[in-house]
Amino acid sequence: MGVNRKSQTAYGVGSPFIKIFNDPIISKIAPKSKNRAEIGTVWCQEDQSGGDNIYILSSIVAGKSNWISVGGGTGTFNAVVVNPGNLTVSAGNFEVTAGVVKFGAMGFGVLTSDASGVISSTTGTDGQIMIMGTGVAPAAATLTAGTGITITNASNAITIAAPEATATRDTSATDTVTVNALVGAAIYTGFTTASSGTQQFTVTNNECSTTSLILTSVSNLGSNDALMNILRVTPGAGYFTVDVYNSGSQALNGDLTIVFRIYEV
């Protein structure tokens, strides 16, 4: 039993033979480590708000009483096992100030939640990242490479590169040359564009679309002093046309080269 020396009253009296629980201690103050009683004694503190803060004596270690708060205040427990049932926090927060939070044997993954708040672990493959969507659950997906971009996926790594384009060339005696590359040269042979004359050349190219931006230049490979200039470049689906103008004093006599670089937008 314990004794309150100030009021000279005894409390915590029980029977070790028939295991009758001690009567609870009613007090205006909370228990302290120096307050003694039998293990399992209940201490009720009457607080100012009219509720009761409940404490239970769990152990006495090194002459100090360990009182656990279980109502109206903060409780300190060595372990809490809920089986079966739920651990519900109706107000406030569930906080972990030390240690780790475990959700069972989920394996490696990213924690996600559905609309009802159920938490689950989502696994993925090399190079996948979590992509959000409006009104739907997050999903693991890989990045998609655009034109001129390469993406290499590996374990815990994504490598994004823009390799240098490889130039391709082709030659034709007609006004149409096929060059299927982002960078290339189209060579047109045997043309005689007159001075102050214009001519249209076509480059068939499966990299080209109607929204492509095309950087071009034109060169005179013939023997005469023809000065070739580009008037316009028109992109199409699978081809583009180049209109050239000879501003030189002599007619084109020979070959013409159009060098290009396609940028997709």
The total number of structural domains in the chain stands at: 3
pLDDT tens readout for residues 245-264: 999 888 888 889 999 999 87
- Domain identity same for 27 and 96: yes
For 186-213, how does the pLDDT look when each residue is reduced to its tens digit (9 = 90+)?
A: 999 988 888 899 999 999 999 999 999 9
Q: Are residues 53 and 124 in the same domain?
A: no
The b/e string for 98-133 (b: 16+ C-beta within 10 A; e otherwise) is: eeeeeeeeeeeeeeeeeeeeeeeeeeeeebbeeeee
Q: Per-residue pLDDT tens for 95-148?
A: 778 877 777 776 777 887 777 777 777 788 999 998 888 888 888 899 999 877
The boundaries of the domain holding residue 178 are: 167-263
Number of H helices, E strands in the chain: 0, 20
pLDDT of residue 215: 95
Residue 9 above 70 pLDDT?
A: no
253 and 190 share a domain? yes
* Residues whose CB is less than 8 angstroms from the CB of residue 132 and which lie 6 or more positions away in sequence, other chains included: 138
pLDDT digits (tens, 9 = 90+) for 25-62: 888 888 888 888 888 888 888 765 656 678 888 888 88
Q: Are residues 2 and 97 both part of a single domain?
A: yes
Of the three residues 77, 101, 125, the one that is the final residue of a domain is 101
User: Could you tell me which residue, 163 or 15, shows the higher pLDDT?
Assistant: 163
What is the Cα–Cα distance from 235 to 216, expressed in whole angstroms? 12
pLDDT band at 91 (very low <50, low <70, confident <90, very high): confident
- Mean pLDDT for 13-23 is 57
What's the average model confidence in pLDDT over 173-198?
Answer: 92
